[in-house]
Amino acid sequence: MSTRWQPSIIDHNQPGGWAIAHCKQHFLADSNGVLFPREWLKKQDIEVIGEHGIGHFDGDAIYLLEVDQPIELADCSWQGLRQFMLQGEADMFRLLSFAAQIGTWSREHRFCGSCAAAMEQVPGERAMQCTRCELRNYPRLSPSMIVLVTRGDEVLLARSPRFVSGIYSTLAGFVEAGESVEQCVAREVFEEVGVAVKNIQYLGSQGWPFPHSLMLGFHAEYASGDIVMQPEEIEDAQWFNVHELPPLPASRSIARYLIDVYVARRLGLPEPVLPS
């Protein structure tokens, strides 16, 4: 468990600390990174639509400034969260992952979804409450399943039109109201590639901040059916031998973990550790 980044609720009315500026899954950065002296950053020409104390990094208080629109500052640029996932240090990515989800929630809950009145932060809680009808909202979390379907030495991998060119990955989908995650696994696999599965086994979970998912990871065995791709969702799906795999997702993702675990088991290699 990381000790550098510790999420917690901090009163944003306190002075001092470091701040990060977030806008639609992008962070302001300079040559020193994404942490800026908080009081300095708040004096810049930025429109802050939400401010939240989100925790401590190396013992220092960290505050999130949710910005209405990206601003231009000398010697600074805006970098996407996925870039930090691929290239950044693990503890910093965990911080930014959390910040992006709190920022998205803050942006989307400035006004009440029931009566449209203004929302305000609840002291001592990670919550927004309506000033008129008192409806209370907490940061959103969307449960999703992600699954590697296997058939002996073969794994079923697919490409979405949204993927980076050439990358193949596991299948995934959101859990619908009224169904278990295992039911979601069977339904989504059949919908996306026309294959029935059996022996569904849970392996682990990972928070996925794009924008606010909790990915529940599974292995499932092929039961029956031929690949029939779902239009507009899947542009290609194939069975790949564990000895001849295509380009795969980033090593920090649970999708890659599911693949690497199965390959390790088939080849008698040490199993990898699930990225935190």
Token pair 């470091």 is found at: 18
Q: How confident is the model at residue 70 (pLDDT cuts 50, 70, 90)?
A: very high
Half-sphere exposure of 97 (CA within 13 A, CB side): 26
What is the predicted pLDDT for the residue at 88? 79
- Per residue in 238-253, pLDDT (tens digit) is 999 999 999 999 999 9
Q: How confident is the model at residue 61 (pLDDT cuts 50, 70, 90)?
A: very high
Report helix, strand or coil for 36.
Answer: strand
Q: Please name the CATH architecture into which domain 142-267 falls.
A: Alpha-Beta Complex (3.90)
Phi-psi group of 199: left, alpha or beta (phi > 0 → left; psi -120 to 50 → alpha; rest → beta): left
Token pair 């920090």 is found at: 252
- Of the listed ranges 90-94, 95-99, 145-149, 239-243, the least confidently predicted one is 90-94
Q: How far is CA 185 from the centre of its chain?
A: 19
Residue 2 has pLDDT above 70, yes or no: no
Q: What gap in Å lies between CA 37 and CA 168, rounded to an integer? A: 41
What is the predicted pLDDT for the residue at 130? 97
What is the predicted pLDDT for the residue at 275? 82
What is the predicted pLDDT for the residue at 162? 87
- Per residue in 108-140, pLDDT (tens digit) is 999 999 999 999 999 999 999 999 999 999 999
Which one, of 60, 58, 23, 59, lies nearest residue 38 by Cα? 60
Cβ neighbours of residue 249 under 8 Å, at least 6 residues apart? 167, 169, 255, 256, 259
What is the predicted pLDDT for the residue at 192? 97
- Ranges of H-type helices in the chain: 38-42, 81-87, 90-108, 181-193, 254-267
Q: What is the 3-state secondary structure (H, E, C) of 161-211?
A: CCCCCCCCECEEEECCCCCCHHHHHHHHHHHHHCCEEEEEEEEEEEEECCC
Phi and psi at residue 55, to the nearest 5°: 150, -160
What is the predicted pLDDT for the residue at 51? 97
CB 235 within 8 Å of CB 161: yes
What is the predicted pLDDT for the residue at 45? 87
CATH class label, 5-108? alpha beta
Average pLDDT over residues 229-244: 96
CATH topology match: 5-108 vs 142-267: yes
Cα dist. 216→15, 27, 66, 68, 69 in Å?
A: 39, 27, 29, 32, 33
> What is the residue extent of each domain of the chain?
5-108, 142-267
- Per residue in 40-52, pLDDT (tens digit) is 999 998 999 999 9
Token pair 């299948």 is found at: 171
What is the predicted pLDDT for the residue at 218? 98
